[in-house]
Amino acid sequence: MKKISLLTLGAALIAVPVLAAPGAGSRGDADGNGTLTRAEAQAHATQRFVKMDANKDGKIDATDRAAQRAAMQAKMFERLDADKDGSISKAEWDQHSADRAAKRGEKRADAGEGKGGMRGHHGMRGGRHGMRGGMMMGKADTNGDKAISQAEFETAALARFDASDANKDGQVTAEERAAQREARKAKAAEWRAKRAAAPAAPASE
C-alpha cells in the first residue's frame, strides 16, 4: 500500500503565520466583552511572542519559524496517522480529504453560499495570508537584522491596533473591525479593477 512519509507531507500542510495580527477579530479580548483595549492588545502580543520564540532567545527569526513549521507538521502527521504505524496510507489520506470536503460543505451550507464562490474565496484568502505575513514581518523588523525582538513585535502589534482604533479612544470595537474589513475589501476591489483595466503588454517581436 502506498505510504506518505513525514517529509513529503510537509508540502501539503499550512504554513505557520509569520506574525500574529493583534487587534483583528476578538483575539486578545481577555474579558470577552467584544471590545479590545490597547492594554489587552499589548498583553496578547506579549503572549504570542513568548509562544513564537521557540528557542527562547528573545527574538523571532528563521530558526523559530522552522521549529514552528516542524511542530505543526508533526502534529498534523500524528492526526492523520490513524493506525499510528509511523506512516500515512492512501486510505488515511483519502479519509482526511473526505473529512475536509465535508467540513467545507457544512460551512457553505451555513453561509448559504455557492460552491464555487466559497472555494474561490478560500484559495484567495490562503494566497493573501502568506504575502501579508511576509509584509508584516518586514515592517516589524525595524532594524533590518532579519529577526524580530519582543519590543519590535509589540510595537508592530500596537501600530496595527492604533490603525484599527478609528476614533482613537484606546479601544477597538466590533464596529471598527467591521469597518476596517470593508475598507480592505474596497481597496482590494479597486486594485483588481485597475489591474483588469490595465492595457496588455505589447508582444515582443
3-class DSSP assignment, residue 21 = coil
Per-residue confidence (pLDDT) for residue 44, from 0 to 100 = 94
* pTM of structure: 0.56
pLDDT digits (tens, 9 = 90+) for 165-203: 999 999 999 999 999 899 989 999 999 998 888 776 565
pLDDT digits (tens, 9 = 90+) for 15-42: 334 444 444 445 788 888 889 999 999 9
Per-residue confidence (pLDDT) for residue 115, from 0 to 100 = 44
Per-residue confidence (pLDDT) for residue 13, from 0 to 100 = 41
Kindly list the distances between the CA atom of residue 56 and the CA atoms of 60, 76, 131, 188, in Å, as whole numbers in the listed order: 9, 24, 26, 38
Confidence band of 134 (pLDDT split at 50, 70, 90)? low
Rg (CA), the chain: 21
Environment class of 96 (CB within 10 Å of its CB; exposed 0-12, middle 13-18, buried 19+): middle
Is residue 55 a contact partner of residue 63, using CB atoms and an 8 Å limit? yes
